[in-house]
Amino acid sequence: MRDFYGVTLNSPLMLGTAQYPSPAVLEAAFRKSAASVATVSLRREGGQGQAFWDIIRGLGVHVLPNTAGCYSAREAITTAHMAREVFETNWIKLEVIGHADTLQPDPFGLLKATEALAADGFEVFPYTTEDQVLAARLLQAGAKVLMPWGAPIGSGLGLNNRYGLKTLRAAFPEVPMVIDAGLGLPSHAADAMEMGFDAVLLNTAVAQAGDPVGMARAFALAAQAGALAHAADPMTPRDMASPSTPVVGKAWL
C-alpha cells in the first residue's frame, strides 16, 4: 500500500464518525472494521465535546479532520486552521462544496484552498471529482494525495463514472488515491480497490445500516479482498468463451 504523507496505513478502510445511533455503536463499528483512519468534523467535535474526542483518541487510529460544510475557500482555510489546533495534526480532508444538492466540490475554491494550506504546512487530502485537469492542478498546488468521489456524498450509488475513475488512476499511477463518498455496499469498496485505488472512505453506508457493526466488518473484508485481487493481477474480460478444460485426451466419438 502506498503511504500517505509518509504514513503507511495498516488497512485500506477509512471511516467517518457521523450519524451513528450512539457513541457505543460508533466505537464498536470502528473496532470491528479495523479502520486505519477516522474522519472527524470540527463542527461535530464542537457540538459533542470532550467525551466524543476521548472516544476517537481511544480508537488508536489516525485522525483526519475535515472541512465539511464549507462553501468557500476562505471558510475552508479558516476551518482547517482551527482543526489543526484542536486535533493536533497537519492532515486535513479539504472539502469546498460548490453545489448544495449534489455536494459536488467547487474546483476553483478547492484549488485556491489547497495552494494556501499546502504552503502553510498542511498535508492536504482534497475531496475532488475525477477530472484529470483539476487533479494535475491540485498536485501542482501541493497536494500529495487525491480523494475523488465515487458518487455524491451519502447517495450510496457506488462508482458513478468508472471510465473517469479508471483513467484518473492510470494518469497518476504513483499518487495515493482514496475513493471518497457515495459508496453504499461492500461490493462498491471491493470494486474501487480492484481498480487500483489505495483506500476507500465512507460514513453513511455503515453508520445508517440496520447493523452498523456488521456492515463495518463487511466493508473491511470487501476492501481487503479488492486490494488482494488487484495485487494478484486479475484476468481481463474477454468477448468470447475460453474453455478451461483442454481438448487433449478427449474421447472422439
112 is catalytic: no
Dig out the grid coordinates for 76 from the structure: 475552508
Nearest to 91 by CA among 200, 6, 168: 6
In this structure, the chain runs to a length of 253
Determine the Cα–Cα distance for residues 120 and 135; give it in Å rounded to an integer.
Answer: 20
At a CB cut-off of 8 Å and minimum separation 6, what does 106 contact?
A: 71, 72, 96, 97, 98, 99
Q: Does 8 appear as a known binding residue? A: no
Q: How many CB atoms lie within 10 A of CB 86?
A: 15
203 annotated as a binding-site residue: yes
Q: Could you give the 3-state DSSP secondary structure of residue 212? A: helix
To the question of whether residue 196 is assigned a binding role by annotation, the answer is no
182 is in an annotated binding site: yes
CA–CA separation, 251 and 6 (whole Å): 60
Active-site residue, selected from the candidate residues 93, 112, 144, 250: 93
Query: For residue 3, how many C-alpha atoms fall within 13 Å in the half-sphere facing its CB?
Result: 5
Q: Check the annotation: does 249 bind a ligand.
A: no
- Catalytic residue ranges: 93
Residue numbering of the annotated binding site: 154, 181-182, 203-204
Mark the binding-site residues for 1-deoxy-D-xylulose 5-phosphate, compressed into ranges.
154, 181-182, 203-204
